[in-house]
Amino acid sequence: MILSLAPMEGITGHVFRWAHADCFSALDRYYTPFLAPPRVGKPFTNKGLREVDPASNEGLNVVPQLLTRSADEFVWAARLLADMGYAEVNLNLGCPSGTVVSKGKGSGFLRDLDGLEAFLADVCERSPLPVSVKTRLGLESPDEYERILELYCRMPLAELIVHPRVQRDGYDGKPRREFYGETLERVPFPVAYNGDVFSSEDMGELLAAYPGTRHVMLGRGVLMNPTLPREIAGGAPLAMEELSRFHDDLYAAYVAEMGGNAVFRMKEWWSYAKHSFADPAAVWRLIRKAKKAGDYEAAVVRVFRELA
């Protein structure tokens, strides 16, 4: 069974991947949060470069994810990534954000199936790296998925990762797992499942329903409980000292990367990590108000002293 970490823009970038792998064991695979490919002929720069720089990902199995509807830019980025030593490139067809969808990218690309078919046929032919896709079921209704799935079946994809919600769902409601089951039965290439696996019980239910599962991508579950992959493998539950050490490593790494902005990054993490505590609302009350590093650090001391 392959366990991977989901791409989560603003959270599971290279700093998080490293801190997590350093404190716990590395997952089998990681996906970068979505990156816009550089213009053809230009290199990756700034944030994109920091994310894909091989030095940022040494020792980890990382698949870069691209968000684009330009085949030329996708292929160009795949060439750069191949030169850096990556073995696969992933296309984001799931992002539900309004600004992304309105540009016809992410799940917005699922509205234009003729355009998507031409794009995928072209990039699969020209990309020097195998191309995998992370998809939703459609925009408005899962009825859209039949045509989308037929399209994927015609493409030589390296893998299809299914988050079985539509764009309109956001992250609400239950994932429509039956569509993952159908995908498993029908596509001629490997399939991965993603969505709402928050505990080893959730994983058990998924595997009981779909025993053919070979790859599960974990997202918010790892943010809420960093030892979820270990627990799924039958290991010990999270100890508060582990969470405290992980927090300190993650915070120190963000401070080194971005100085004072580290507090904002950490607050985003706490919006999930608070669920490792008996009283998440009390944790959030302490963390939420902190703006400066000193206030934040004092709040964290109180959280672990008073609420752990």
**Which of 97, 95, 39, 37 shows the shortest CA–CA distance to 68?**
37
Encoding tokens for residue 214? 């070979």
Stretch that binds ligand FMN, among 40-48, 76-84, 179-187, 192-200 (CB under 6 A): 192-200
Q: Binder to ligand FMN among 20, 163, 176, 230 (CB under 6 A)?
A: 163
Query: b or e along 155-165 (b: 16 or more beta carbons within 10 Å of the residue's beta carbon)?
Result: bebbbbbbbbb
Residue numbers 100-159 binding ligand FMN by CB under 6 A: 134
Q: Is 266 in the site for ligand FMN (CB under 6 A)?
A: no
**Cα 23–chain centre separation:** 19
Comparing CB distances to ligand FMN, the nearer of 127 and 135 is 135
Residue number closest to ligand FMN, CB atom: 219
Residue 8, CA distances (Å) to 12, 32, 71, 168 in order: 5, 8, 23, 18
Write the DSSP assignment of 3-70 as a string of letters. Answer: EEEPP-TTTSSHHHHHHHHHHSPPPSEEEPPPBPPPPTTPPP-HHHHHHH-GGGGTTS-EE-EE--S-
Residue numbers 43-102 binding ligand FMN by CB under 6 A: 65, 92, 94-95
Comparing CB distances to ligand FMN, the nearer of 233 and 301 is 233
Q: Is 34 in the site for ligand FMN (CB under 6 A)?
A: yes
Tell me how far, at minimum, the Cβ of 278 lies from ligand FMN, in Å.
Answer: 22
Comparing CB distances to ligand FMN, the nearer of 51 and 144 is 51
Q: Which positions touch ligand FMN (CB under 6 A)?
A: 6-11, 33-34, 65, 92, 94-95, 134, 163, 194-197, 218-221
